[in-house]
Each structure stands twice: as structure tokens, then as C-alpha cells.
Chain A
Amino acid sequence: MTGPPTLTARRSLLLGLLLVGISAYFILGLKLTELNPGPGGLKLGKRFFSAAFSPALTNEDSAALSGANPLWKNAIVACWETIRISAAAVSLSLVFGLAFGFFGATAWWRNRSSGMRNPLYRFFLRYCAPLLYGITRILITFTRSVHELLWATLFLAALGMGPLAAVFALTIPFSGTFAKIFSEMIDEADPSAARALELAGAGPLQVVCFALLPAALPDMIAYTLYRFECGLRSSAVMGFMGVLTLGYYIDASFENRHYHEVWTYLYAMIFLIVFFEKWSDAIRRRLTEGVS
């Protein structure tokens, strides 16, 4: 009597993952006792987490900072700065992403040169396009593999930090990601329309603009919205590098031990992210299911 196999591919994968995880746990030297923060940390943790139920509505020490902005105003300004940096960075990287995504795609030049009459076109498609493709791919991979905070660190070291530097630090890796995803979407778009246009004598740019892009457009819009959400998170975190987004205020309030204020900002951030998440979900649904 033979039962079902006991060690299928899936089971061994799960088991392997678990083993790797357990060994990583011991290599890191994690100890459960280190999770106990000691009496001081415990008190602090208690104070911090109990503040979650009573986020501050006004500045916690109004006496010392009588000239400072009221808390609600700070929160709104911080949210707006977070949105602004994200919107600027995403729109800029969208431009770069579209350009690099075009050169990083293969659909418009691979196996297309034979039909071309114009020798210049043929030469371009056969030799220049693959070269451009290779360069673009390397560029995309490199820009993506460095985290935006590290780009920010580099900017900080080379130039100093300002809002524009934060936008550029976000733009570099985001452009790479956009280009990667867009080129994949263009390559995976339904090729029949492209084929038809090509037979009618359209050039590569025309094929991309009128056949491949329209087919990939709903997915591209949906992905852009998703990137905007990521941008909100990242621009909030940029606050830790000194830009006046939500992270900056969280950092400052935590260092001053104004835990109730910290929670106000945290809730503001959660609200911001959930709001745009729900909104873009609604847009995505209408885009993919078709408008009725």
C-alpha cells in the first residue's frame, strides 16, 4: 500500500524555509530574554503604548513653546509636505520611467528589422536598439538596487539636504522601478494590435504609442497609483533625514518624550495611507473591470 508521497516539492520548500529561518535566528544570536526591555524600558513602553489611546490634541508642553504652531496645524503641514514630496517624486520618476521603460522593452525592436525598407531604420533596429536596451537594463538594475534613504545619504554627503534633494533621492530608485515594471508590461501586452499596425507599415515609435501602450495603460495607471502610496511611506521616512515630512515630527516628538503627540502623527500617517489606498483601490477596480 503506497500513500501519497511524504516529501513533495512543496513540503520540502516549506521545511527548508523553516530550517533556514531557525538557523538565521541562532546565527543572529537572538535571545528571547533580550525582548524584556528591563524595568526602565518596560515603564517607557507602557507609557508609550498607553498613549496610543489618547493621542494629543494640543502641544504637550505649551508653556515652553508658546510661539510654536498648534499641533493640528503641524500635523496638517507635515501631511501636506509628505504628499507634496511624494507627488513631485512620483511624477518626475514617471517621466523617466516611461522613457527608460520604452528603451528597456524588447517588443518594439526584437524580430522587427526584416520588414523595414529604410536602411537607416533597419540599422537602428538591428544594432542601436539592442545596445540601448543593454545600457538601460544595467542602469535600471543599479538605480533600483540602492534604497532611497541611501541615495539621500549620498546626497547629504555630497551636497547637503533640502526638499529637492529628497525628491531626487526618491526619484532615482522609483524611476528604475517604474522602468522595470513598465517595460515588462509593454512586453507582455497583447501583440496582435502591434502586429497589425506593423503590417500596415507603422514604425517602432508608432507601434509603441498606438498599439502597445494603450494595451498596457490600465495596468500602468494602477501601478503608478501603487507607487504613489509607496512614495507617501518613503517621503514620511525621509523626515528622519531632516526634511519636514511626518517622520521629522515623529522623530522630534519621540525624542522630547511627547508620546501623545507621536501617536497623533502616527494616526495622521495611517489615515493618509489608508485614504489613498482605498481611493486607488476604487480607481483600480473601475479600470480593470471596465467602466460601465
Chain B
Amino acid sequence: MTLAKLHRDRPRSWFLIVSAGFFLLLVLTSWLTGDFKLSDFTSERSVRNLNRFLNHDIIPRPIRDGEAGWEALPSWVGGVLARDGWKAMGNTLWISIVAILFAAIGAACLVPGAARNTASSHPFMGRTHPSKRWQSVVFLCRGLLVFCRGIPEFIWAFLLIGILGINAWPAVLALALHNMGILGRLGAETVENLPLDIPRALRISGASRRQVFLFGIFPLVLPRMLVYFFYRWETCVREATVIGLLGISSLGYYITEAHARFKYDELLLYILLGSALILAGDFVSAIVRKCLRETDVEPG
């Protein structure tokens, strides 16, 4: 009896049920109507290609040509590293670092305008009627952030290369713009969820907007924002690698070049170098984030 009643009264949400149904339907129709032919993989030609690729193409050239045995592998890797490898890895890393810093600075400038509790004529004084002027400020800042993060890094880079030509700037700007959108959104959410007492106390004792933001809010949100910052930096390293596919001299550039010259052995090596770089980046970021979480207790 009570069990039946419990079952009847269990929490339900039509919204969730409909959404679940919709996503299920979406997955089903995509698999059924998509032009996914398994013959792409099982046809005679592709099996032959795959065979050649695995047993011939990706074996380092000196070994494939029978000039040397597998003991020549380290010297071959060393040769590629000395020629372009180190430079490519370095470029990838530096691009990601400059980009994420630009992104953080840009986001820090937009957050006060995008968070509803700072962008108001009475900041932190609870929900008063926001004036039309402040509403439009919030709308503009959020619109800009949505616009920046709605376009993927790769497409930003593609568009910017068309305009700025090929140098490191399009890569840096593309990564910076997209991540500014993401960091700005996360920052605005963090600021909106802050406990209000500290900024309110500062405001009441006569601090200006800028003072409240610099000395009340910034220290409070910093620990969490640093965690987000390092998390986004990891993705920056990833994306900086592939933006090179468009012609900027990060790892991706050497990957396309190897591809164009049918040097699949070098292609594979560059991909592995990229994955080593990403692993190193993830490792550093994980350590820093762990330290941050342990030293900085939640604000409040």
C-alpha cells in the first residue's frame, strides 16, 4: 500500500521524459538515416589500403627500405626531432600559453558586464529593478561571449588566416577568442553565485565599483577561475596542435605536410609527439589544479 503510494508519488518531470524520448529518437534516426556504409571499411580496396598502411607506410623509412634494422629507430626519431620536431612542439606549446592568457585577460574584462549582480545600478544590493541601460550592457556582453564560444577554434582560425595571412597570430587569436567566450561564461556564473556579504560590506562602506570588483570579487573567484583556466589550457594545447592543419607552423602543419608527401611514417611520429605534448600538459595541469584545490579552501 505505502509502497504503491510511494511509487505513484515518485518525482516525475514531463520535461525530462520528453527530452529523453527526443534524444533516443535522435540517436535512432541518425544511425538509420545516416549515410554510414560499413563497406567503407570492409571493401576489398580499403582492406588492401589498410594493409599497406599498417605493414608498409607507417614503418620508418630506413627500416622499410632495409637499410637498417629496428635498432635504427631512435636515431631516426632523433633526426626528425632535430629537424622540425622540437620546433613544432615548442610552437604548439607557446601558442597555447599566449592564447590562454589573452583569453583570461579578455574574459576578466567582460565578466563584470556579463554578471547580473555586478552589472546593475545598485551592485550587490539584491534584485532591484535593473534599468534598461544595464540590461543592454548585460545583453551585449553575453551576446559577445556567446558569439565567441559558438564558433569553434578551428573555424575561427580558418577565417582569421583568410584575413591576416599565415603567421602565429590567427592561431593565438582563434584560441583566445573561443576560450574567452567559455571562461567569460564560467566567470559570470561564478560571480553570480558568490555569497553577497563581502562585496556588499565593501560597497556600503563606500567602495567604488572598481574597488569592489578588484578587492572584493576578484580574490573570491580567483581559486575557482584558476582551476577553469588550467582546464581550458589543456584543451588549448590540443587545439593548438590541430590548428596547424590549416598551415600555421604548429605540429599540425608538419602532419599535413607529411601527409601531402606520403611520408606516413613521419605523420605517425608527429601525431605521437602531439600526444606526448598533450599528456605532459594534462599532467602539469592536473598537478596545479590539485594543489589549488588543496591550498585554497572554498571562499566564504
- Partner among A30, A38, A162 whose Cβ is within 8 Å of the Cβ of B168: A30
The answer on a CB contact under 8 Å between A87 and B30 is yes
Report which of B33, B53, B90, B238 forms a contact with A157, defined as CB distance below 8 A. Answer: B53
**A29 to B279 CA separation, bound complex (whole angstroms):** 26
Complex: how many Å from CA A290 to CA B95? 43
Quick check: which of B8-16, B119-127, B193-201 contacts chain A, the rest being far away? B8-16
CA distance A27 to B96 in the complex (A): 13
Determine if A88 and B30 form an interchain contact, defined as CB atoms under 8 angstroms apart: yes
Q: Interface code A261-277, partner B: CB below 8 Å = 1, 0 otherwise?
A: 01000100110011000
Q: Is the CB of A28 within 8 A of B95?
A: yes
Q: Interface segment, A98-106, A195-203, A280-288?
A: A280-288
**Contact of B37 with A25 in the complex, beta carbons under 8 Å:** no
Contact indicator B155/A290 (Cβ below 8 Å): no
A274–B36 touching, CB < 8 Å: no
Instruction: Name A148's closest neighbour in chain B (CB-CB).
Output: B242
Interface membership of chain B positions 271-294, coded 1 if the CB is closer than 8 angstroms to chain A and 0 otherwise: 100111011001000000000000
Partner of B169 from the list A13, A24, A34, A247 (CB cut-off 8 Å) is A34
What's the Cα separation between A279 and B23 when bound, in Å? 11
Residues in A neighbouring B35, C-beta threshold 8 A: 162-163
Flag whether A127 is at the interface (Cβ < 8 A): no
Q: How far is the CA of A179 from the CA of B35 in the complex (A)?
A: 27
Q: How far is the CB of A82 from chain B (nearest CB, A)?
A: 11
Which residues A4-27 have CB closer than 8 A to chain B? 9-10, 13, 17-18, 20-21, 24-25, 27
| A159 to B51 CA separation, bound complex (whole angstroms) | 10
Inside 8 A of A41's CB, which chain B residues have their CB? Answer: 163-165
Residue pairs across A and B with CB atoms within 8 Å: the count is 187
Interface residues on A, range: 35 or more
In the assembled complex, the CB of A223 is this many whole angstroms from the nearest CB of chain B, namely: 14
Q: Mark A235-254, 1 if CB is under 8 A from B, else 0.
A: 01100100000010011001
Report how far A251 CA is from B154 CA in the complex, Å. Answer: 11
Partner of A83, one of B26, B49, B98, B279: B26
Check if A237 sits within 8 Å of B152, measured CB to CB: yes
B150 to A, closest residue via Cβ: A270
Q: What is the minimal beta-carbon distance from A255 to any residue of chain B, in angstroms? A: 9
Residue B118 at the chain A interface, CB threshold 8 Å: no
In the assembled complex, B255 has its CB within 8 A of some CB on chain A:
yes
In the bound complex, residues from chain A placing their C-beta under 8 Å from that of B241 are 147, 150
The yes or no answer to B146 lying at the interface (CB within 8 A) is yes
The answer to whether B27 and A91 have CB atoms under 8 Å apart is: yes
Q: Cβ of B13: which chain A residues have Cβ within 8 Å of it? A: 286, 291
Query: Are A270 and B49 within 8 A (Cβ)?
Result: no
The reply to whether B49 and A160 form a contact with Cβ atoms under 8 Å apart is: yes
Report chain B residues within 8 Å CB of A88: 27, 30-31, 34, 36
> Taking the complex as formed, is A153 at the interface, i.e. its CB lies under 8 A from any CB of chain B?
yes
CA A290 to CA B13, docked complex, whole Å: 10
22 cross-chain CB contacts under 8 A: A21-B98, A24-B94, A30-B168, A34-B164, A84-B30, A87-B26, A91-B31, A145-B279, A147-B241, A147-B274, A153-B256, A153-B259, A156-B259, A157-B53, A159-B53, A162-B35, A164-B37, A167-B34, A247-B154, A254-B159, A262-B159, A283-B16
